[in-house]
A and B are shown apart, each in its own frame.
Chain A
Amino acid sequence: EVQLQQSGAELGKPGTSVKLSCKVSGYNIRNTYMHWVNQRPGKGLEWIGRIDPANGNTIYAEKFKSKATLTADTSSNTAYMQLSQLKSDDTAIYFCAIGLAIWGQGTLVTVSS
């Protein structure tokens, strides 16, 4: 069974960075794209970007190009997303997903001073 285990909730101060992880079991991430999606409180889904773990190539939605940095470690079968220069508007649940077909449980990021 394929499972995605995301890291725990984060509380970040404005202007700082956080790095989220998404560990995959039951599937080799080299064989897929890893996507990241967010959901602000009470709102819809927003596609952030995706990484090809086999070569590190990334694509970002325009509004996240200076906000998110996607990386992957194929040796540990884990994908990462760093969010920089945190603002209150970044408060959201962040999901990772294999090919947008199998999703992690989400990580809540709260930005507050």
Chain B
Amino acid sequence: DIQMTQSPSFLSASVGERVTLSCRASQNINKYLDWYQQKLGEAPKLLIYNTNNLHTGIPSRFSGSGSGTDYTLTISSLQPEDVATYFCLQRNSWPMYTFGAGTKLELK
């Protein structure tokens, strides 16, 4: 099974700051990596699919990159509404999928 490790588990940042979240796979996942945002009490929302493709309606301050086993979600300028937990999901081992444990992002 492919394991997904997210870091850090918790991140505190200021409004306007550039934020980088990481996700590492236990083996090459060939860019089949998606990012989700989950706000408290809500369902997850797809932000980015296949490493770097912005889902419909997602602000351009969100971007993704990576290859092989290492992937990154970047928020170019943190906004108050970005406070949430962020999860990565690997789909390389289709049709069996694995989520990371999440990074909780808060405002400093």
Cβ contact of B98, chosen from A35, A47, A59, A102, cutoff 8 A: A47
Q: How far is the CA of A62 from the CA of B98 in the complex (A)?
A: 12
Q: Is the CB of A45 within 8 A of B99?
A: yes
Q: Which residues of B contact A80 (CB under 8 A)?
A: none
Q: Is the CB of B46 within 8 A of A100?
A: yes
Q: How far is the CA of A104 from the CA of B42 in the complex (A)?
A: 10
Find residues 84-113 in chain A having any chain B CB closer than 8 Å to their own CB.
95, 100-106
Q: Which residues of B contact A45 (CB under 8 A)?
A: 36, 38, 44, 87, 89, 99, 102
Q: How far is the CA of A106 from the CA of B38 in the complex (A)?
A: 12
Q: Is the CB of A44 within 8 A of B43?
A: no
**Scoring A residues 62 to 85 as 1 if CB is less than 8 Å from chain B, else 0, what string do you get?**
100000000000000000000000
* Nearest neighbor of A105 in chain B, beta-carbon distance: B43
Q: Is the CB of B99 within 8 A of A47?
A: yes
Q: How far is the CA of A70 from the CA of B96 in the complex (A)?
A: 15
On whether A44 and B89 interact (CB within 8 A), knowing A101-B46, A101-B55, A103-B44, the answer reads no
Interface membership of A10, Cβ < 8 A: no
Q: How far is the CA of A44 from the CA of B44 in the complex (A)?
A: 11
* Nearest neighbor of A96 in chain B, beta-carbon distance: B43
Interface membership of B45, Cβ < 8 A: yes
Q: How far is the CA of A3 from the CA of B101 in the complex (A)?
A: 27
Q: How far is the CA of A104 from the CA of B44 in the complex (A)?
A: 9
Q: How far is the CA of A59 from the CA of B97 in the complex (A)?
A: 11
Interface membership of B34, Cβ < 8 A: yes
* Nearest neighbor of A101 in chain B, beta-carbon distance: B46
Starting from the known contacts A37-B44, A45-B89, A47-B98, 17 additional A-B residue pairs (CB-CB under 8 Å) come to A33-B95, A37-B99, A44-B101, A44-B102, A45-B44, A45-B87, A45-B99, A45-B102, A47-B89, A47-B96, A59-B95, A100-B34, A100-B46, A100-B97, A101-B55, A105-B43, A106-B43
Task: Give 5 nearest A-B pairs by CB, closest first.
Answer: A103-B43, A45-B99, A47-B97, A59-B95, A44-B101
